[in-house]
Amino acid sequence: MNKSMSYKIFSTFNIVFMGLLLVICLYPFLYMFALSFSSTNAVLAGKVFLYPIEFHLGTYKTIFEYPNFFIAYRNTIFYTVVGTFISLLMMISFAYPLSKTWLKGRNIVMKFVIFSMFFSGGLIPNFLIVSWLGLTDTVFAMLLPFAISQFNLIILMNFVKNLPGSIEEAAIIDGMSYFGILIKIIVPLSKPAIATISLYTAVFFWNDWFYGMIYMSSAQRYPVMLFLRNIMSGASIRGAASGSGSEDKTTIYATLKSGAIILTTVPIIILYPFLQRYFITGLTLGSVKG
């Protein structure tokens, strides 16, 4: 291979540039980490850039003493675990019959599913229906409306559709029921797709703050991201929902905010390296098509 001088120069620049992007992606987390373990004085004096100055744990102690922090954290774990579980049950049991393109009525159902991706109730009708159903301020408002994501459903359906049909045919000849096939054959074979969509779903539930804000009125049921958002906006109650006065935002120390950021993001940062291979497969698994 003959590589020109200019290409070598480009390559060097490229390697450095990519390294720079790496830093840009990671630095915000590193900075938050450094702030959260520094003393308030060091932060206010503007000494913290990369690593903790005057290392101390007071920030985390203060956050843990917030009465609602652990409640909110526990709520988020609950919403994530139960929400993902309900989602998976619904999506698996829907994706399997939808993957049978020859099934009578399947195409009509599929058309309804796809149409609802492009046109929806919108914010207000959804909100009013949820409160009309009496779900407001109950955990169900956080779990049920989001049970099926059409996008994830289609990923799973395409995966099931592309499984070799011969195993299923053999099972049918052996007299196995469709329930049995789904549980004993389809689910084990679809593990990569199920792993992917459960991760997407779990991340959705973990990251939500907006639906927590509009559907929950008691702080006892707030998800942790809403707790973080309230710390950030300096509002501890729901009253200032539209984003409170910007002046308030400086009244809570930067250390506290960064500590809360680290605590709410840490599960994703820790789990990410282990899970990221599934995220990629999710993107390459079947395109969004009916």
Partner 1 sequence: MKQGSEGEIQKAGAKNRLVAGKRGSAGKYWQLYGLMLFPVIYFIIFKYVPMFGNILAFRKHKPGLSPFGTEWTGLRYFEMFLKDPSFWRAFLNTFILAITNLIVNFTIPIVFALLLNELTALRYKKIIQTVTYMPRFVSTVVVISMLTEILSPTSGIVNRLLADLYGMDPIFFANEPRYFRILYILTDTWQFTGWTAVIYLAAITSIEKQLYEAAMIDGANRWQQTRFITLPSILSTIMVMFIMKMGYLLGLGFEKVLLLYTPKISVVSDIIDTFVYRVGLVQSNYSYSTAVGLFGGVVGLILVVSANKISKSLTGESLY
Select 37 or 96, whichever has its Cβ closest to partner 1. Answer: 96
Select 91 or 155, whichever has its Cβ closest to partner 1. Answer: 91
Q: Between 99 and 138, how does the x/- string for binding to partner 1 read (CB under 8 A)?
A: -x-xxxx---x--xxx-x-xxxxxxxxxxxx-xxx-----
3-state SS track over the chain: CCCCHHHHHHHHHHHHHHHHHHHHHHHHHHHHHHHHCCCHHHHHCCCCCCCCCCCCCHHHHHHHHCCCHHHHHHHHHHHHHHHHHHHHHHHHHHHHHHCCCCCCCHHHHHHHHHHHHHCCCCHHHHHHHHHHCCCCCCHHHHHCCCCCCHHHHHHHHHHHHCCCHHHHHHHHHCCCCHHHHHHHHHHHHCHHHHHHHHHHHHHHHHHCCHHHHHHCCCHHHCCHHHHHHHHHCCCCCHHHCCCCCHHHHHCCCHHHHHHHHHHHHHHHHHHHHHHHHHHHHHHHCCCCCC
Site for partner 1 in 203-222 (CB under 8 A): 203, 206-210, 214
Binds partner 1 by CB under 8 A, chosen from 84, 142, 225, 259? 225
Count of residues binding partner 1 (CB under 8 A)? 107
Site for partner 1 in 32-61 (CB under 8 A): 32, 35, 43-44, 46, 49
What is the closest distance, in whole angstroms, from the C-beta atom of residue 185 to partner 1 in the complex? 13
Q: Which residue stretch of 52-60, 63-71, 77-85, 266-274 sits at the interface with partner 1 (rule: CB under 8 A)?
A: 266-274
For residue 151, state whether it binds partner 1 (rule: CB under 8 A): no
Select 55 or 272, whichever has its Cβ closest to partner 1. Answer: 272
